[in-house]
Amino acid sequence: MSKIAFVFPGQGAQYTGMAKDFYESFPVSRQVFQTASEASGLDVRALCFEEEDRLNITEYTQIAMLTAEIAMLRALEETGIHSQVNAGLSLGEYGALIASGVMKEKDAFEVVRKRGIYMQEAYPTGGAMSAVLGTDAGLIEKVCEETEGIVSVANYNCPGQIVITGEEKAVSAAGEALKEAGARRVIPLKVSGPFHCELLKGAGEKLGQALEAVELQPFSIPYVTNVTAGYVTEPDSVKELLVRQVFSSVRWQQCVEAMIRDGVDTFVEIGPGKTLTGFLKKIDRSVKALHVEKAEDLETVRKECL
């Protein structure tokens, strides 16, 4: 019997039309869009299916992505497929918390709408992020520490791909130093802020205030947190972890490795694109990588998992 993890991508994988076939085919998915619209005060259906101009702006991206992921999740659950552990990359962690029964959909949508706004407003200019390919984490950490200004690791995605974040000048200088030290490529990313670094601490504090009103539920399934790459089974620490996640490194590779050590042999990526599936293949090719992005994917996943 497979040990299954549901994993949810973060922002960056969004596109106009995501989850539209789920919306059209499954009442449970339509209800997710309705709940998200009521909770956020936005027409999330229009945002996901029509409004390309706003979809790539952080304050709108986050609620749109989470809605699409949960619409897909609910349709998948109706097929009888369930996970033994959940995780998500950055924003995707909220998908994991809903899947684990810790956050109600309405609460998660309200919080994520605010999270997007706080992160958009936190550092509107002068920040940057770059993907560093083809060198090891230790060297990247060392170069970041030695570079003048604020620059640090945002994401440990997979072997050979790490993202750095911080002040634009510092990120650029660290990138040049890494190329000189042997990094294969350093690619500036088109982002609206220097996410997952200390410059976003204010956004994290505001998020903490928003989370105070949220009543968390007992875990039905554990999740693995980005901040420590450890399993979480009690709700007591969840809010603090979500606050820290905004300005801390996302330890995605370490999260996946922890789940594999725990016996997970099947990962189901739920959401637009195949970003996490790509990372998984570089982390450990011996485990099964499936994804749910289109309605027809449900049958494939059902056959592989049941």
Provide the pairing of β-strand 85-88 with 288-292.
unpaired
Q: Is 90 a catalytic residue?
A: yes
The separation between CA 290 and the C-alpha centre of its own chain, rounded to angstroms, equals 17
Is the pLDDT at 216 greater than 70, yes or no? yes
Mean pLDDT score, 147-152:
97
Confidence band (pLDDT; 50, 70, 90) for 124? low
Residue 192's pLDDT is: 79
Mean pLDDT score, 196-216:
96
Of 97, 37, 99, nearest to 67 (Cα)? 37
Strands in 266-270's sheet, in edge-to-edge order, are: 231-232, 223-224, 85-88, 4-8, 266-270, 288-292
Q: Which of 29, 37, 83, 90 is catalytic?
A: 90
Q: Which of 196, 248, 249, 291 is catalytic?
A: 196
Predicted confidence (pLDDT) per residue in 177-194, tens digit: 999 999 999 999 988 789
Q: Is 37 a catalytic residue?
A: no
Predicted confidence (pLDDT) per residue in 218-269, tens digit: 999 999 999 999 999 999 999 999 999 999 999 999 999 999 999 999 999 9
Of all residues in the chain, the percent with pLDDT exceeding 90 is: 92
Which homologous superfamily is 127-188 in? Malonyl-CoA ACP transacylase, ACP-binding (3.30.70.250)
Domain map of the chain by residue range? 4-122+198-305, 127-188
SS3 121: helix
Assigned CATH class of 4-122+198-305:
alpha beta
For residue 133, give both structure tokens: 């390919």
Of 152, 146, 198, nearest to 171 (Cα)? 152
Is the pLDDT at 1 greater than 90, yes or no? no
Same fold, 4-122+198-305 and 127-188: no
Q: Which helix (DSSP H) or strand (DSSP E) does residue 240 occupy?
A: helix 238-247
